[in-house]
Amino acid sequence: MRVIELTTSASIYSCRSYLLLGDWSQLGDVNTLIDPGTDGSVIDQIGLLSTGCGKVPVEQIILTHNHFDHAAGVDIFKHRYGTRVYAWSEGKDVDELLHDGQIIKAGDDLLQVLHTPGHSSDSICLYSKAHRILFSGDTQVRIHVAGGTYAPEYVETLKRLSTLRISTIYSGHDQPIVSNAEEIIQETLRNVQNR
């Protein structure tokens, strides 16, 4: 699976968007966009990429949650490509609701849907067991200072994530974590538990 991070303008409030393609761009791959965000230039960037001969550049969108900064660009893709949209909760352009534990093909890989409430009630993470990659959306996985008050759902989410084998985390707003991902999640769990 190839993960392509699409850049957005610093002057537009948006999220990080990720395009997932198969390693060889084969017909059976499912070109997948995680969180289109609000920056319309994302669709133009995708148009410049080689996404597979005869393939729709974005066949499906998976929303990590339905907040504006992650979901506002959905309609552009639906209009241009007829893209199907998957999310945990209903929304204006959502075609199919996801459920915890569901497996969905993205690129040439399989992603497991993990319901991870805490940031929002409809937050999900997407986990590639084969590549040890977590797409965390706005689920905060990097808190370096102990203290504060956190929702019990968020603590349970961190406990769940701490059981996974993860080498890379692609976040909704932060730089990707490419080393010590499991240790960072463990540290965050300790800090939100004030230990």
Distance between CA atoms of 6 and 17, rounded to whole angstroms?
6
The mean pLDDT value of the chain amounts to 95
Residue matched to tokens 């001969």 = 53
Of the candidates 91, 117, 118, 86, which has an alpha carbon nearest to the alpha carbon of residue 102? 86
Tell me what pLDDT residue 92 has: 85
What's 54's DSSP letter? T
From the CB of residue 79, how many other CB atoms can be counted at a distance below 10 Å? 11
pLDDT in tens, 76-111: 999 999 999 999 999 989 999 999 999 999 999 999
Are 102 and 113 a contacting pair, CB within 8 Å? yes
Amino acid at site 45? Q
* Token pair in block for residue 148: 């504060």
β-bridge pairing 17-21 and 84-87: unpaired
Which CATH architecture group holds 2-192? 4-Layer Sandwich (3.60)
From the CB of residue 25, how many other CB atoms can be counted at a distance below 10 Å? 17
pLDDT in tens, 141-169: 999 998 888 999 999 999 999 999 999 99
What's 195's DSSP letter? -
Distance between CA atoms of 92 and 192, rounded to whole angstroms?
34
The full set of domain ranges for the chain reads: 2-192
pLDDT band at 170; cut points 50, 70, 90 = very high
Q: For the residues 10-23, what does the mean pLDDT come to?
A: 94
With a cut of 70, say whether residue 6 has pLDDT above it.
yes
DSSP code string of 1-53:
-EEEEEP--TTS----EEEEE-TT--TT-B-EEE---S-THHHHHHHTS---T
With a cut of 80, say whether residue 195 has pLDDT above it.
no
Distance between CA atoms of 107 and 2, rounded to whole angstroms?
7
With a cut of 90, say whether residue 21 has pLDDT above it.
yes
What are the backbone dihedrals phi and psi of residue 68, each rounded to the nearest 5 degrees, phi first? -50, -45
Tell me what pLDDT residue 194 has: 84
